[in-house]
Amino acid sequence: MPDSYALFGYPVYHSWSPFIHGLFARQTGQDMVYRLHEAPPDQFRHDLLEFFFEQGGSGANITLPHKRAAADLVNELTPRAQRADAVNTVLRRDGELIGDNTDGVGLVADLTQNLRLRLTSPRILMLGAGGAARGAIGPLLELRPSTLVIANRTARRAIELAEEFSSLGEVSGAAFDGVEPLEPFDLIINATSASLKGEVPPIHSRAVDRATTCYDMAYGIGETPFTQWARDRGVTRVAQGWGMLVEQAAEAFFVWRGVRPQTRPVLEALHARAMYLATTANTRS
């Protein structure tokens, strides 16, 4: 019997994770299956996870909207899940459910390995102060930025988030219109959900120049509103969250299986598959 893994979320059927983990398993010769479990918020409880593991489950991923709830459902958190206050990966050790978070390291792996950013004391602007931003702050501070500014529509959330992480590095919080930089940032990361509504956070024009790297954690076919905003300003190093998606999965795979898969061929296959589906969808419409 292959080892069994699952993704819990709501909705979840659009997920690329079975495709990604299927390719990782084939590449590394691991005998495993990866299934999707749609769990509405009122049904996502400790006993649901317990039941999955009692039925022989070997590991689980958690996605929206359950990442934060999962942190309260597991018995123990890894330090990085504790800092993120969110769980996207669960394993069972000695009968206990352990919650981990691989999102932040996935982002940093994409920035430094796939996009090959060489950032010395970078100036980083993080847009958003929700769950996606929170998970990335700890790993980004490990890059030792000279400044990390969290800007958010609701300033209070950005300021509180910055205060929580202030012992780990140079981090501050502000409203969008409170960011009036004297020089452009090296890296701007969009962790708001504005792209999903076709919007771009109001960013000061001095925050960006052609040398800035602009990264949208959202991903899709074609440009997101934020990546289009960046290109309109002459930025050439622009990326969406596809690489983060694959890298967080690779880290989860490593946590579960002790084997680190190669991500580049999987990222290429994912792009090809997504493009193919978009083309056929367009042909049909």
Q: Is 197 a catalytic residue?
A: no
CB 170 within 8 A of CB 145: yes
Q: Which helix (H) or strand (E) holds 9?
A: strand 3-9
- Alpha-carbon torsion 124, 209, 216, 253, what sign? negative
Region of 151 on the Ramachandran plot (φ > 0 left; ψ -120 to 50 alpha; else beta): beta
Interacting residue with ligand ATR among 28, 112, 193, 228 (CB under 6 A): 193
The pair of three-digit structure tokens given for residue 116, joined into one six-digit string: 């090959």
Q: At residue 91, what are phi and psi to the nearest 5 degrees?
A: -135, 165
Q: At residue 257, what are phi and psi to the nearest 5 degrees?
A: -105, -15
Q: Is 204 in the site for ligand ATR (CB under 6 A)?
A: no
Q: Is 152 in the site for ligand ATR (CB under 6 A)?
A: yes
- Specify the residue, 90 or 129, whose C-beta has the smaller distance to ligand ATR: 129
Interacting residue with ligand ATR among 38, 47, 163, 199 (CB under 6 A): 199
Least separation in angstroms between CB 186 and ligand ATR? 21
- Spell out, one character per residue from 132 to 151, where the chain touches ligand ATR: x when CB under 6 A holds, - when not: x-------------------
Choose the catalytic residue: 21, 66, 67, 83: 67
Interacting residue with ligand ATR among 128, 184, 225, 243 (CB under 6 A): 128
Least separation in angstroms between CB 67 and ligand ATR? 7
Least separation in angstroms between CB 68 and ligand ATR? 8
Q: Helix, strand, or coil here: 96? A: strand
Interacting residue with ligand ATR among 131, 138, 241, 261 (CB under 6 A): 131
- Specify the residue, 5 or 226, whose C-beta has the smaller distance to ligand ATR: 226
Whole-number Å distance between alpha carbons of 210 and 247: 26
Whole-number Å distance between alpha carbons of 267 and 201: 28
Interacting residue with ligand ATR among 22, 58, 147, 153 (CB under 6 A): 153
Q: Is 129 in the site for ligand ATR (CB under 6 A)?
A: yes
The residues in 237-256 that bind ligand ATR, with binding defined as CB under 6 A, are none
CB 144 within 8 A of CB 121: yes
Amino acid residing at 183: E
Pairing relationship of beta strands 89-93 and 57-62 according to DSSP bridges: antiparallel
Positions annotated as catalytic residues are 67
Q: Which residues bind ligand ATR (CB under 6 A)?
A: 128-132, 152-154, 157, 191-194, 197, 199, 201
